[in-house]
Structure 1
């Protein structure tokens, strides 16, 4: 089976290649990608039979890639870090997945399972997974001092960190303080239409009213968020890409 690896971390791609060389398999890796954009180009050009597909990529997620390549016929084995909401979605869809770092025995099991499924059967399972993933990706559960608070990410405007604590500011005026750093929420939020323009802030792109090229974000509620010089280029790219969707 001709395959490609779509994974944004080079050491994970290398590790998977090494494991595939160790086991007796007919899988031949013909390409590697680290973004949705590159993966779409390579998949259309190479037409692989199997794709090892990371859930969260540098410029989107696996399901965005699958939407753009639905005219192609290939099987999928998902790759994911230990993220509760992603794993729950994968299990609900009963699709094949590998946890990072990839284990050789789990790889063998996943390859055997995926070979037994038809492409049509797997696409049905992936659709169930996508629905579960999207539903769970719309919410975040915060562990507060005396309760668990459900946050609707569509209504979360921005987060601000200070000395090991993070405050979540919602569109309805409510705010919630948790004793965790912003870093612990960054990957989850940046895969849900948020951007981190500064060490102390993560912002929902949906609530940006304008951006001053001097380096200041204006939110729709009047709040001003600074953009650090080293994150400016990355922020502008995210801002322009999202607002043009």
Structure 2
């Protein structure tokens, strides 16, 4: 099968390629992509038969890619980190997926299952998964040490990440710490009107009281969030566009 690897981390792509080479399969990797935009172009040009598709990409998510390539006939194996909202969508849709880091036995099993699955049937599964994904956009489920915590994104003020951990600060004063980085939540938060003005923070735009052009965000609870030079232009654009809405 002509196969495309769509994953934004090069070491994941390299590891997956190595595992495929170890397996005795007819998979032929014809290309690697790290963004939705790039993957759409390559998929349309090369017409792959199988795509390993990461859920969160540099400029969007897997469903953004699928919306732009819905007329192409290819099979899909999703790749994801352990993110509750992503896994819920994939499991309910009965879609084949691999957790990072990819295990060779799970990879082999996924390839066997996908080889016998008609493309039309998989499209139906993906449609179900997509519906679950979009319907869950208003909630975030955090895996805490001893429980699963449901957070209403409308009440989430900001998140702060440090040394592989992320703290979620809510408008009722509660805060929740998880052992994951912001990157693993970024796609869902951005779709819920959050912005990432700094590598260490994501903020809910509706909780901004004011923005100093010198590079400081003032939240309604008095918290000050720095805006990095590299992200300043993107943040200001997101902030102004949100206010227009």
Q: TM-score range by the shorter chain?
A: 0.7 to 0.9
| 1:113 aligns to 2:121 (yes or no) | no
Q: Which residue of 2 aligns with 1:42?
A: 42
1:62-211 superposed matches below 5 A: 62-141=62-141, 150-159=150-159, 166=167, 168-170=169-171, 174-178=172-176, 180=177, 184=180, 186-192=182-188, 193=190, 194-198=194-198, 201-205=201-205
**Structure 1 residues without counterparts, runs of 5 or longer:** none
What is the CA distance between 1:157 and its match in structure 2? 3.2
| Equivalent pair of 2:215/2:232 in contact (CA under 8 Å) | no
Question: Which secondary structure state, in structure 2, belongs to the residue aligned with residue 233 of structure 1?
Answer: coil
Partner of 2:237: 240
Distance 1:65 1:207 in 2: 31
Q: CA deviation at 1:140?
A: 2.1
- What SS does the aligned partner of 1:95 have? coil
CA RMSD of aligned residues (A): 3.4
What is the rounded CA distance, in whole Å, between the counterparts of 1:239 and 1:207 in structure 2? 15
Structure 2 CA distance for aligned equivalents of residues 143 and 153 of structure 1: 16
Q: What is the CA distance between 1:137 and its match in structure 2?
A: 4.0
* 1:175 aligned counterpart, secondary structure: coil
Residues matched between the structures, number: 237
Distance in 1 between residues matched to 2:146 and 2:77, nearest whole Å: 40
Displacement after TM superposition at 1:142 (Å): 5.5
Alpha-carbon separation, structure 1, partners of 2:17 and 2:144: 42
Q: Distance in 2 between matches of 1:143 and 1:33?
A: 30
Does the CA-based 8 Å contact 2:169-2:175 persist in structure 1? yes
Contact 1:205/1:239 (CA < 8 Å) preserved in 2? Answer: no
Secondary structure of the 1:105 match is helix
Deviations 1:129-148 (A, max 9, x none): 11222333431246899997
Distance 1:188 1:161, change over 3 A: closer
Q: Could you tell me the TM-score, scaled by structure 2's length?
A: 0.80
8 Å CA contact retained: 1:44, 1:72: yes
Which deviates further from its counterpart, 6-15 or 20-29? Answer: 20-29
8 Å Cα contact 2:217-2:227 kept in structure 1 = no
